[in-house]
Amino acid sequence: MATRDLVLIALFAAVIAVLGAFPPLTLPAIGVPITAQSMGVMLAGGLLGARRGTLAVLLLIVLVLAGLPLLSGGRGGLAVLAGPTVGFFLGWLPAAFVTGALTERFLPQLTFVPAFLAAVAGGVVVLYACGIPGITLVAGVPLDKAAMGSLAFIPGDLVKAGVAAAIAVAVARSYPLAGADARRA
């Protein structure tokens, strides 16, 4: 792996961490915070591709589990694995991978619609497929109630996917080498 790849991976792990500095908005009925960090996961996959985006998320997860307070609300450490958001937290890995893999298919002529669909597929569908069962396992909420409670988050996540897609398209147009590297990855 080239030095440039390592720098990009570390940079995007930092971007996801910085997005956690925005205060979370927690819906009382379900206890899962609305954060900007899931948009960072979509950006990592959409801008770095499947391999490097997933490695950026993996780096952040390792740092969080090592105790660094990089999650929204200053959370970090192994206790994260016992919280109701564990499925979403660990779901960041496949979310970044799917977003990146789908985005790579449309390079070098990436447009908004495919970038948005890639961000929705990875950053919403895959993430919820991991997160909702996590709520059920940890919080003991029935799967159907966890799914229904999660519907409140979809509009915000679609906005995050739109922002991530717009950024991915702008970067692909202004910095085409990023896309070429993502396809080779």
Which pLDDT score, from 0 to 100, does residue 180 have?
A: 45
Residue 77 has a CB neighbour count (10 Å cut-off) of 13
Q: Is there a contact between 47 and 167 (Cβ–Cβ < 8 Å)?
A: yes
Tens digit of each residue's pLDDT (9 = 90 or more) over 92-134: 999 999 999 999 998 878 999 999 999 999 999 999 999 999 9
**CA angle 19-167-56, nearest 5°?**
50
Instruction: Report whether pLDDT(30) > 70.
Output: no
| C-alpha to C-alpha distances, 2 to 52, 110, 181, nearest whole angstrom | 11, 25, 11
Instruction: Report whether pLDDT(183) > 60.
Output: no
Tell me which amino acid residue 168 is. A
- Considering only CA atoms, which of 29, 51, 172, 24 is closest in space to residue 112? 172
The DSSP element (H or E) to which 7 belongs, if any, is helix 3-19
Instruction: Report whether pLDDT(185) > 80.
Output: no
Which pLDDT score, from 0 to 100, does residue 109 have?
A: 86
For residues 71 and 34, the model is more confident at: 71
Tens digit of each residue's pLDDT (9 = 90 or more) over 50-99: 999 999 999 999 999 999 999 988 899 999 999 999 999 999 999 999 99
Tens digit of each residue's pLDDT (9 = 90 or more) over 3-26: 999 999 999 999 999 999 887 777
Q: Is there a contact between 72 and 35 (Cβ–Cβ < 8 Å)?
A: yes
Q: Is there a contact between 59 and 92 (Cβ–Cβ < 8 Å)?
A: no
Locate 44 and state its tokens: 């990592």
Question: What residue ranges do the domains of the chain occupy?
Answer: 3-184
| C-alpha to C-alpha distances, 152 to 31, 34, 129, 140, nearest whole angstrom | 12, 10, 15, 19
CATH domain 3-184 topology: Arp2/3 complex 21 kDa subunit ARPC3 (1.10.1760)
DSSP state, 32?
P
As to burial, measured by CB atoms within 10 angstroms (0-12 exposed, 13-18 middle, 19+ buried), residue 34 is middle
